[in-house]
Amino acid sequence: MRPTPPAEVLLELHEHVAVVTLNRPEKLNSVTSAMGDALVEIAHWANETDQVRAIVLTGAGERSFCAGSDIRQLDGYETPWQFRNREDYCDALRLVRKPIVAAVNGFAFGGGLETALTCDIRIAAETASFAAPEIKLGWIGGGGMSALLAASVGAGNAALMLMTGDPVDARRALEWGLVSEVLPAAELRARALELAITIASRPPIAAETAKATLRAAHNMPQAQAMAYEREMQAIAFATDDALEGRRAFAEKRAGTFLGT
| Cα–Cα distance, 219 to 35 (Å, whole number) | 29
Q: How far apart are the C-alpha atoms of 99 and 16, rounded to whole Å?
A: 12
What are the CA-CA distances from residue 13 to residues 10, 51, 89 (Å)? 10, 8, 20
Q: Are 22 and 36 in contact (CB under 8 A)?
A: no
- Residue 238 CB contacts under 8 Å (≥ 6 apart), including other chains: none
Beta strands across the sheet bearing 168-169: 64-66, 107-109, 129-131, 168-169
Q: What's the rounded Cα separation, in Å, for the pair 77 and 60?
A: 28
Specify the 3-state DSSP secondary structure of 168. strand
Looking at residue 31, the DSSP 8-state letter turns out to be B
Enumerate the active-site residues.
114, 134
